[in-house]
Amino acid sequence: MNTKSELVHKLQQDILMWQGFKPAAEGRADRIGLGAIEDAFPGGVFPKGAIHEFIAVCPEDAAASDGFIAGLLAALMNDGAASLWISTARHLFPAALSAFNVATERIIFIDVDTEKDALWVMEEALRCKGLAVVVAEVDALGLIESRRLQLAVEESGVTGFIMRKDTRRMASTIATARWQISPLPSVLEAGMPGLGFPRWQVALLKVRNGIPGSWMMEWAGTGFLEIKQALQQDDWKSGEQRQIG
């Protein structure tokens, strides 16, 4: 007969599964390359089949969120599945996703007239089990709408990303995680022209049953790098220690 502690542990694992946290198979780390960020989630696993919301307080944050989400898409679409990107006023240049190793031909962009339409399309798309991710850009998201989206991902296992751009209308939601992505200056090797790799300050503001935190991350061409230390010096080599995520 199972002991009381075993029953409680099983119940906790079942609840985590319902909330989008899938335990890694024994002997296999089911990670997507986010380094220490993934340690903030229960079991050290990025929650797929869940709703994530990204808060953009200014246009710069919105652009940074686009880039960070593109990096996530590269990791989550590695099995060949397609994704949707829904918006009412899209500013993203689709071809730019290739800089993050995203196969743009597998992204379906849907432009709609109203946010009501965007949320309806997202809910219906989240029920399609053949998709990897559904992204939607909206100004606001209410509790009822977030519940409907959560029910959809629980049924299909598809991951949903909501980008919220109106911080004056910050209603409570049941999203599994809330992120805020801010841009950081890129760093070049000494004497090299042009721009360095994109960098962000990645804040995990809320995570269900996890540990919020903030990390400096970089997209280094093939994946995310966690920047462990960044000294204010011009020479890349003199003041930087980097760790692969």
58 vs 18, residue with greater confidence? 58
Strand 199-207 to 224-230 pairing: unpaired
| Per-residue pLDDT at 139 | 87
User: d(Cα 188, Cα 166) in Å, to the nearest integer?
Assistant: 34
> pTM value?
0.81
pLDDT (0 to 100) of residue 186:
86
Greater confidence (104 vs 12) lies with 104
Residue 51 corresponds to which tokens in the numbers above? Answer: 């709703």
As to burial, measured by CB atoms within 10 angstroms (0-12 exposed, 13-18 middle, 19+ buried), residue 185 is exposed
241 falls in which pLDDT band (50, 70, 90)?
Answer: very low
Burial of 122 (0-12, 13-18, 19+ CB in 10 A): buried
* Mean pLDDT calculated for residue range 49-69: 94
Tokens matching residue 216: 């400096």
Whole-number pLDDT of residue 89: 87
| CA gap 70, 73 in Å, rounded | 5
DSSP secondary structure of 53-91: EEE-SSHHHHHHHHHHHHHHHHHHTTTS-EEEEEESS--
Question: Please, what are the domains in the chain?
Answer: 47-244 (3.40.50.300)
The pLDDT assigned to 140 comes to 82
Say yes or no to pLDDT of 40 above 80: yes
End-to-end CA, the chain:
42
Neighbours of 54 (CB within 10 A): 25
* Three-state SS annotation for 175-231: CCEEEEEEEECCCCCCCCCCCCCCEEEEEEEEECCCCCEEEEEEECCCCEEEEEEEC
Q: How far apart are CA 55 and CA 189, in angstroms?
A: 32
Residue by residue, DSSP assigns 108-134 as EEEE-SSHHHHHHHHHHHHT-TTEEEE
Q: Are 72 and 161 in contact (CB under 8 A)?
A: yes
Q: What is the pLDDT of residue 221?
A: 87
Assign 12 a pLDDT band (cuts: 50, 70, 90). Answer: low
- Average pLDDT for residues 38-58, to the nearest whole number? 93
Decide if 86 contacts 112 (C-beta within 8 A). Answer: yes
The residue-averaged pLDDT of 85-110 equals 92
Residues 174-195 have pLDDT tens digits of 889 999 999 999 887 766 667 7
pLDDT in tens, 125-183: 999 999 999 999 998 888 888 899 999 999 999 999 999 987 766 667 888 999 999 99
- Residue 58 CB coordination number (10 Å): 12
Percent above pLDDT 70 for the chain: 78
